[in-house]
Amino acid sequence: MATDISDIKQKLYEHIKQGAIDADVFASVEIDARGVCCEADGPAEPVYYRVYIEEGDIWVALETEDRWLSGSIEGDLVGTGDKLDDLLEEEIIDLGHTDAVVEFDHYRSPEKVYVFRSKVSTPLSSPDAPQHALLWLLGYEIVFRELGDMTEDDED
């Protein structure tokens, strides 16, 4: 069974890595000990999009150590009145996961990393999981690139 889970994870991560490379929207894409890690292309400070498995679920996240960037994203959402889960869900559905249901968590980890994350609504065991997780990753990139100070030339 452990081999099956390991194989499922590896296939999932390889599919997402290749799809992220093909999308050509990230500065770099790699598989590391936690899962797939994609460096955002644009922000002055490091920002990473991640896809990983935690307790049998697939998660997509944006992570940064820059509290000002996290605050600028929050500020944009408060200023526009937009709800992040609605923005993400709309984008993910537009990309092709038509029955996506998006909720998000936002917190600062014990390692002082600011995290926005969502559990992919497709189970890991589903044959659609790799493609759906890729669509969620790309949806995250599309939504977050427009928020806060995600590009170096943004001004407050």
Would you kindly state where each structural domain of the chain is located, as residue ranges? Answer: 2-110+119-145
Residue-level pLDDT at 38: 97
Residue-level pLDDT at 103: 85
Q: Is 66 exposed, middle or buried (CB count within 10 Å of its CB: 0-12, 13-18, 19+)?
A: middle
Helix H or strand E encompassing 95: helix 84-95
Residue-level pLDDT at 7: 85
Whether pTM exceeds 0.95: no
DSSP string, 97-136: -TT-----EEEE-TTS-EEEEEE-SS-TTSTTHHHHHHHH
Contact 72, 156 (CB under 8 A): yes
Length in residues, the chain: 156
Phi and psi dihedrals of 93, rounded to 5?
-65, -45
Residue-level pLDDT at 3: 54
Residue-level pLDDT at 1: 46
Q: What is the pLDDT along the chain (156 residues), one digit of tens a residue?
A: 445 778 889 999 999 999 999 999 999 999 999 999 999 998 788 899 999 999 999 999 999 998 888 988 888 888 888 888 889 988 998 998 888 888 888 999 999 999 999 999 999 999 999 999 999 999 999 988 888 777 765 444
**Distance, CA of 95 to CA of 32 (rounded, Å):** 26
